[in-house]
Amino acid sequence: MTLRQELTSLISKTSLQVTETQIEQLVQYVELLHKWNKAYNLTSVRNPSEMLVKHIMDSLMVGEVLTGNRFIDVGTGPGLPGIPLAILYPERNFVLLDSLGKRITFLRQVVFQLKLTNVQPVKSRVEEYQVEQAFDGVLSRAFSSLNDMVSWCNHLIAAEQGRFFALKGQFPHEEMTQLPAHIELVKSYEIHVPDLVGERHVLELKKSK
C-alpha cells in the first residue's frame, strides 16, 4: 500500500474532512520528514507508515477541539502538530516556534515545497519571543509539565479568550495539582487516533480572571 492509500484509510476511520490536495500535502510532508530525518535527526520515528499514525493523525485529531484563528506551536520540533493542522485548516494561521536552527531550516523547506501561506517558522526561545498581537491559542506537545507550559507561554495569549492546548498521553492528574492559581482547566478532551496504541488527551486551559 502506498503512503497515500494508508493515510486515506486512516482518515476514513475518523470524521475529518480532508481533500485530495490536503492528503497529497500531508504525504509530501512525511516524505520530506523521512528524507531529512536521516541527516537532521528530527524525530525518533523512522518508519513513514508509523509517522502517519504517530505524527500526522495524532496532530490532525487535535484540530477538532481548537478554537480561534491564530496559533503558536511552541517547541514545534519538525512541525508537530503545527504543519498537519496548517494543512487541514488553511484559513488559520500558525507560528511554529523552535530554538534549534536545523528544525527551522527543515520547516522553511516544508513551507516552500508545500506552498503553505499560513505558516511562519520562527527560531527563538519561547521566553525571548515577543508578540505584537496575542495569539488565540498556544499549542504544544513538547513541555514536560503543564506548569512549564503555562509559565513560559503566559505572555503569548490574551487573558480573555486565549487558550493553552496541551497535548498529552494519559490524563496528567499530578501535573493538574501543580498548576498556578490563575490557570484553570476549561475542558479535557480524550482524542481517539486511529491505529495508535495508548491514550491521548488535549487539555484546554485558560487564564482565570
On whether 141 is known to bind a ligand per the annotation, the reply is yes
Q: What pLDDT does 46 receive?
A: 96
- Assess whether pLDDT exceeds 80 at residue 209: no
**Residue range 159-182: mean pLDDT, rounded:** 94
pTM beyond 0.95: the answer is yes
- Residue 126 is assigned to a ligand binding site: yes
- Given this model, what pLDDT does residue 92 score? 98
- Residue 57 makes CB contacts below 8 A (sequence gap 6+) with 10, 11, 14, 193, 194, 195, 196
Rounded Cα distance, 31 and 154, in Å: 35
3-122+131-207 belongs to CATH 3.90.340.10: no
Contact 68, 161 (CB under 8 A): yes
Coil vs helix vs strand at 156: helix
- What pLDDT score does 159 carry? 81
Q: What is the pLDDT of residues 128-163, one digit of tens each?
A: 999 999 999 999 998 989 999 999 999 999 888 999
- Position 145 scores a pLDDT of 93
Calpha distance 182→185 (Å, rounded): 10
Percent of the chain with pLDDT over 90: 95
Question: pLDDT tens for residues 184-201?
Answer: 999 999 999 999 999 999
Q: Where are the domains of the chain?
A: 3-122+131-207
Extended strands (E) in the chain: 70-74, 93-98, 119-123, 137-140, 163-168, 183-190, 201-207
200 is known to lie in a ligand binding site: no
Q: Measured in Å, how far apart are the chain's first and last C-alpha atoms?
A: 52
The reply, when asked if residue 80 is annotated as ligand binding, is yes
Q: Considering the chain, what is the average pLDDT of its residues?
A: 96
